[in-house]
Amino acid sequence: MYKVGITGGIGSGKTTACKVFEILGIPVFYADAVAKEIMCKDVLLVAGIKSAFGEESYFADGKLNNKHIAGIVFNNEEALAKLNALVHPAVFRAFDAWEETTPKTVPYTLKEAALLFESGSYKMCDATVLVTAPYEMKLKRVMQRDSVSAEQVKARMDKQFSDEEKSKLAGHFIVNDEQQSIIGQVLTLHQQFLKAAEALKL
Ligand code: ATP
């Protein structure tokens, strides 16, 4: 099936854009939410995390000890790479399983992932979309949405590729600067993806 990957920096509005695609009947796989879920449920992944970061990575009730993991991977690129090497393949497997369950009548699927380019998962997509917004706007949106400080948002932003780096890899763009209609841009892309998905079948 034709696969579209969608990404964007924190607060760019990628989830908001995905909600519009969903209204158009396109199923969306939310990779970041799935990653959180499978870190507690995927037996292989849980075993891998315990082996790499210790039994204390999980509480007795099976919940992930976020503080323990964050303490290890924070500012430790090697440990973060090790965690990603465990989580990313598990998310790819979850995506494949999810896609198997989507009705065959669906024209294409959408995969929303904050680290679409960083994780390399864009290589498995037929098309990619980068959602962008001005820096100050993203900062303000996330501060409001998550009730956090500018410093906390900036620390999260610093961990991602810049929009400039992502633009080099993206095939399509949505500019979510509250000047241009996000709905109009999604509708235009939707028409393009419908045509491309149809062409793939021929
Ligand atoms: P994250 O990576 O942090 O999950 P995101 O890229 O998925 O962020 P959203 O959650 O879609 O971003 O948007 C961030 C916040 O900004 C949300 O509260 C959303 O309602 C708001 N927002 C997004 N786009 C717009 C817009 N065009 N106009 C007004 N508010 C917007």
| Per-residue pLDDT reduced to its tens digit, 97-108 | 999 999 999 999
> What average pLDDT score do residues 173-190 get?
96
| Any atom of ligand 1 within 6 Å of the Cβ of 145 | yes
Q: For 65-134, where are the alpha helices, taking DSSP H only?
A: 66-73, 77-101
Per residue in 8-27, pLDDT (tens digit) is: 999 999 999 999 999 999 99
Which atom of ligand 1 is closest in space to residue 146's alpha carbon?
18
Domain 31-101 of CATH type 3.40.50.2300: no
* Distance in angstroms (rounded) separating the CA atoms of residues 23 and 176: 18
| pLDDT score for 158 | 83
Task: State the residue for tokens 């970041």.
Answer: 32
108-112 and 127-132 strand pairing: unpaired
Ligand 1 within 6 A of CB of 190: no
CATH of 1-27+108-202, one of 3.40.50.300, 3.40.50.620, 2.30.300.10, 3.30.300.30: 3.40.50.300
What residue spans in the chain does CATH classification 3.40.50.300 cover?
1-27+108-202, 31-101
Checking if the pLDDT of 159 tops 80, the result is: no
Percent of the chain with pLDDT over 90: 89
Confidence of residue 119 (pLDDT cuts 50, 70, 90): confident
Tell me how far the alpha carbon of residue 16 lies from the centroid of ligand 1, in angstroms.
Answer: 6
